[in-house]
Structure 1
Amino acid sequence: MNFNWLAILVAALSTMVVGFIWYNPKVFGTAWMKETGMTEEKAKGANMFKIFGMAILFAFLISFILQFLVIHQFGPSGMVGGPEFFETAKPSYKAFMTDYGDAFRTFKHGALHGFMAGLLLALPVTGTNALFERKSAKYILINGGYWIVCFTIIGGILCAWPA
């Protein structure tokens, strides 16, 4: 399996699109600002280049690692040592990949695994941090929900877009 860097980048950038919608004042933005104590003045004083730049970098890292959860073909690839060993792998590997190399490579399947990762990884991490920060359940649901949606979309993009 090779990495599809364009798919990873597009998946990472999708978090920005979701964020612009999710945190819009007409959706969850007003509630999020209330729960975080954010004000218009504080928001205007932020270094947005740094915030969005780091957010894209973090989303890229998430997208990179999430592909290993949503694309099943990475499992057999890892079993033979990665792409540099494909040519020297046993014939059974080549036969397996011929039969199953494109199995479950759909947006729907990737979205399912992305959703599960969001629900079972992102939400608990977000929730744990929020508990220690003394944030509300509403805060956890807003931010955790955002990451569940993002992981779902990332998983769908990565799984459906061939390398």
Structure 2
Amino acid sequence: MEFNFLAFLVAAIVPLITGFIWYNPKTFGTAWARVAEMTEEKMKSGNMAVIFIVTLVLSFVLAFMVQFLVIHEMGAFGMVEGDTSSATYQAFMEEFGGKYRTFKHGALHGAMSGLFFVLPILGINALFERKGWKYILINTGYWVLTIAIMGAIISGWK
């Protein structure tokens, strides 16, 4: 399997760009701050350099894992434990190799991952944190969009 480092790097930047837009006061930022109980004082208390660097590192880890959700060939590669000379792998690649490596397909699987992984996780956390549906939907919406864009980049950029 080929590894497109540039695609992963670009995909890792997506959460920062999407977050800048999504959590901007002109979009969902004001509503999010209210339901998250985030004050101006709390926002200014963090070390922004550390927050952005750690976010970028974690985003790269996320981008690396997204490939397993959006690229079907990764499943075949894992199934044969990396033995690309395997007849099973060769047959799969001959029939399906590259067939679903599109931006559209990656976005679909990314969005599905957001809905079926992120929503339950954030929803459960929010219930125990006594946060409401607005909090859940704002944060889940961000992640569904973000992972859809990441999936599109990773799947479609060959």
TM-superposition CA deviations, 1:12-53 (whole Å, max 9, x none): 111111000000000000011111121222212211111112
Which structure 2 residues correspond to residues 49-128 of structure 1 after superposition, within 5 A?
49-82=49-82, 85-86=83-84, 88-90=85-87, 93-128=89-124
2:151 corresponds, among 150, 155, 158, to: 155
**Letter matched to residue 58 of structure 2:** F
Question: Taking structure 1 as the reference length, what is the TM-score of the superposition?
Answer: 0.90
RMSD: 1.4
Number of residue pairs aligned between Structure 1 and Structure 2: 158
Cα distance between partner residues in 2 of 1:74 and 1:27:
36
Structure 1 letter corresponding to 2:111: F
Cα displacement string for residues 76-103 of structure 1 (whole angstroms, at most 9, x for unaligned residues):
2122221xx22x423x533442342211
Question: Over residues 71-129 of structure 1, what are the superposed CA-to-partner deviations in whole Å (9 max), with x where a residue is unaligned?
Answer: 011122122221xx22x423x53344234221111000000000100000011111111
- Tell me the CA shift for residue 2 of structure 1: 2.8
**Does the residue aligned with 2:26 lie in a helix, a strand or coil?**
helix
Distance in 1 separating the partners of 2:130 and 2:152:
33
Partner of 2:19: 19
Question: C-alpha separation between the residues in 1 aligned to 2:54 and 2:118?
Answer: 18
Q: List gaps (5 residues or longer) in structure 2.
A: none
CA distance in 2, matches of 1:142, 1:96: 39
1:130 to 2:130 alignment: no
Report the more deviating stretch, 49-58 or 131-140: 49-58
Matches of 2:29 and 2:141, distance apart in 1: 13
Q: If the length of structure 2 is used for normalisation, what is the TM-score?
A: 0.93
Q: Following the alignment from structure 1 to structure 2, what is the Cα–Cα distance between the partners of residues 93 and 133?
A: 46
Q: Percent identity?
A: 54
Residue type of the alignment partner of 1:131 = L
Distance (whole Å) between structure 2 residues aligned to residue 115 and residue 107 of structure 1? 12
